[in-house]
């Protein structure tokens, strides 16, 4: 008897890519740039977004879709700093967000009044690397507490990201972390990766991040 092989993963990914294209079309129609923030747990990306919303909120209209395996804790933290909707996605165990979830979140947003959409993905450097969410670009966030070889351990994530934020730089005096080595490893994987060096806790380096967001929000098609 012949065996029929059904490629379930390929079909799921194909459907996701179709939905991602629709998300991208909807955002482009309204001139909204979108950044998919990806990281391992504990990199500080929620605090990075908190500070961004607080300090850049009066200037740019920003919304957030945030994903977590359990709880809406991150969404609650972010909602304190914006009067716009923070859409919480609790995946119930799934290790990434998908384009359907982001598309559903767009239904609750007034895209005509928006400059920039952040997607705070589930804390994981493996699964989210393979899923297009319709974003303008992926931003990988990692911190000086994680080790310089993070890009070599998770090369696909650094390869598919266009930007990298090295966070928690305020801890550098207390840790044996070599910034030059970390950047070199990342550029070994992705020579075109653009870096930002920040401490979301103290504000160090945040102005460079904000300048990037201003430019990105005003010219999403070219960013």
Q: What is the pLDDT of residues 71-88, one digit of tens each?
A: 667 777 877 877 776 666
pLDDT of residue 223: 44
Report the pLDDT value the prediction gives residue 195, as an integer from 0 to 100. 98
* Per-residue model confidence (pLDDT) at position 222: 46
Residue 157 near residue 126, CB atoms below 8 Å: yes
Flag residues of the chain having pLDDT under 70: 1-10, 69-72, 85-88, 90-93, 219-223
Question: What is the rounded distance in angstroms from the CA atom of residue 123 to the CA atom of residue 26?
Answer: 26
Q: Domain map of the chain by residue range?
A: 32-216
Q: What is the pTM of this model?
A: 0.89
Of 76, 190, 206, give the one whose Cα is nearest residue 137: 190
Q: Which fold has domain 32-216?
A: Rossmann fold (3.40.50)
pLDDT of residue 92: 66
β-sheet with 137-143: strand ranges across: 86-90, 62-68, 116-120, 33-39, 137-143, 163-167, 194-197
The residue among 38, 44, 43 whose CA lies nearest residue 146 is 43
**Which tens digit of pLDDT belongs to each residue from 32-70?**
999 999 999 999 999 999 999 999 999 999 999 988 766
Predicted confidence at residue 84, as pLDDT, reads 72
Looking at residue 13, its pLDDT comes to 80
Supply the pLDDT for residue 20: 96
Which pLDDT score, from 0 to 100, does residue 67 have?
80
């Amino acid at each position: 008897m012949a065996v029929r092989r059904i490629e379930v993963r390929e079909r799921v990914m194909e459907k996701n890519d179709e939905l991602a294209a629709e998300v991208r079309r909807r955002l482009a129609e309204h001139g909204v740039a979108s950044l998919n923030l990806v990281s391992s747990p504990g990199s500080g990306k929620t605090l990075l977004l908190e500070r961004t919303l607080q300090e850049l909120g009066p200037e740019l209209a920003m919304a957030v879709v945030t994903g977590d395996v359990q709880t809406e804790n991150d969404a609650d933290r972010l909602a304190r700093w914006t009067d716009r909707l923070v859409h919480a996605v609790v995946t119930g165990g799934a290790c990434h967000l998908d384009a359907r979830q982001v598309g559903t979140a767009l239904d609750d947003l007034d895209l005509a009044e928006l400059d920039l959409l952040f997607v705070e993905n589930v804390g994981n450097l493996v699964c989210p690397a393979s899923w297009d969410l319709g974003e303008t670009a992926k931003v990988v966030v990692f911190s000086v507490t994680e080790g310089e070889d993070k890009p070599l351990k998770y090369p696909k994530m650094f390869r598919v990201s266009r930007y990298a934020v090295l966070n928690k730089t305020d801890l550098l005096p207390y840790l044996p972390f070599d910034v030059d080595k970390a950047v070199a490893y990342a550029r070994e994987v992705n020579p075109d990766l653009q870096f930002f060096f920040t401490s979301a806790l103290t504000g160090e380096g945040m102005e460079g991040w904000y300048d990037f967001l201003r430019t990105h929000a005003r010219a999403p098609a070219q960013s």
